[in-house]
Amino acid sequence: MGEGGKTPYVVAVAIQVIYTGLFVVSKAAFNSGLNTYVFIFYRLTAATALLLPLALIKSTWQNRSTPATPAPAMSCRILFKLFLYALLGNTFTMNVYNVSLKQTSATVGSAATNSMPVATFLLALLLRMEVVKVRSSSGLVKLVGVALCVAGVLVIALYSGPSIRPLAHHPVFAHKPQSVSNGAWIKGTFLLLLACVTWSLWIVLQVPLLKEYPNKLMATAMQCLFGALQSFVVAVVVERDFTKWKLGLDIGLLAIFYSAFLGTGVSMYLQSWCAEMKGPVFVAMWSPLALVFTIICSSFFLGEVVHLGSILGGILLVGGLYSVLWGKSKENENKISPAVPEERQLEGQGTPMEKHEEEDLTSHV
């Protein structure tokens, strides 16, 4: 695939289609009665089965082909960090996110993910990895982006508004409508935001981790493995009836394999390729498409009632996303130096946010 032409645009749209399917299929599995905690265990187990052999093969091949520069060794210190980061980024974040998705809708879940770049920027700001020059246009636009995201979350949580009828009278993944109270909806929305914040924190923490242990594939695979073990403990505590752990040829099994293989393996490769061809900002700017696709698909396939408040809140979140992305790109054009040590700038490391974008860590398992 070449750098020119329409291929990167097709790939960028394909990535958002994959994420749309992930939101819709996961929600359909939860509607069918699949326990969210059991789902996370199976998902991470399947992802480990995919990634760990690939990581071992890659490390073995590197050791044989380039013995002078072998694959980095994994120390006990690195293993402990991977365990903690798996606890944060996989076990906690994914369980909170999916429980929240069950209480809200696929549309809200998709909209919330657009706040991740803004949440990552805020965390980097609090950790003094980023700076905001309020007297510059880029700094002001970043702050406006943060405000728009906060407003979007509040609109989704507190305002329902008129509803849009489902596009299909007989949806593919039909289920009995579940009545969700206002309190549960508000709680679910803010838990989604919490999951996005902890997910963003996980992204920020990957930067020093990958600098210390640069084997990205092995680091991801080990975090999946630790996350699967941790999620098993959580699932056992929550769901002790093992008859409910059984999987059949249904939407639950489809959701597990879809999320593990398409949502992890394929999307990671496509995002890495697309970011290499066109840059990380090009990849991020297409993410609102997943929201549009999810609104249509959740209505057609799930029969979900989409509320005006979810659409308006999603628009505000997308506006916040583009504001932060524009501010970042403007800073790069003006060569505004962030608050990082000189030696890192000389090494071409960039800011943590730029680094994590280059490493494509937003393709969380």
- Reduced to 3 states (helix: H, G, I; strand: E, B; else coil), residue 164 is strand
- Reduced to 3 states (helix: H, G, I; strand: E, B; else coil), residue 69 is coil
- Reduced to 3 states (helix: H, G, I; strand: E, B; else coil), residue 182 is helix
* Helix (H) or strand (E) segment spanning residue 124: helix 116-126
The contacts of residue 232 (CB under 8 Å, 6+ apart) are 41
pTM: 0.75
Beta bridge partners of 12: none
The pLDDT of residue 335 is: 57
* Strand-pair category, 163-164 with 306-307: antiparallel
Strands (E) located in 38-125? none
Q: Which two tokens stand for residue 173?
A: 């993944």
The pLDDT of residue 244 is: 80
- Reduced to 3 states (helix: H, G, I; strand: E, B; else coil), residue 60 is helix
Separation CA 139–CA 134 (nearest Å): 5
The pLDDT of residue 280 is: 64
Domain extents in the chain: 7-65+73-358
Identity of the residue numbered 83: F
The pLDDT of residue 226 is: 95
Give Cα 22 distance to the centre of its chain: 11
The number of beta carbons lying within 10 Å of the beta carbon of residue 120 is 27
Residue-wise burial string across 286-311, b where 16 or more C-beta atoms lie within 10 A, e elsewhere: bbbbbbbbbbebbbbbbbbbbbebbb
Q: What is the pLDDT along the chain (365 residues), one digit of tens a residue?
A: 445 568 888 888 898 899 888 888 888 888 888 888 999 999 999 989 988 998 899 888 888 887 767 777 788 999 999 999 999 988 999 899 888 888 787 778 888 877 777 777 777 777 776 677 777 888 888 888 888 888 888 888 777 778 776 655 555 555 555 555 677 888 888 888 888 888 878 877 877 888 888 888 888 889 999 999 999 999 999 888 888 888 888 888 999 889 888 887 788 778 767 766 776 667 777 877 888 888 888 877 777 777 788 888 888 888 888 888 788 777 767 754 444 444 444 344 444 444 444 444 444 44
Separation CA 258–CA 256 (nearest Å): 6
Separation CA 47–CA 226 (nearest Å): 11
Separation CA 142–CA 323 (nearest Å): 6
Give yes or no for a contact between 290 and 109, defined as CB atoms under 8 angstroms apart.
Answer: no
Kindly tell me the sign of the dihedral angle through the C-alpha atoms of 174, 178, 183, 188. negative
Separation CA 285–CA 322 (nearest Å): 7
CA–CA distance from 315 to each of 37, 54, 55, 150, 319 (Å)?
Answer: 30, 39, 39, 12, 6
Kindly tell me the sign of the dihedral angle through the C-alpha atoms of 348, 11, 202, 223. negative
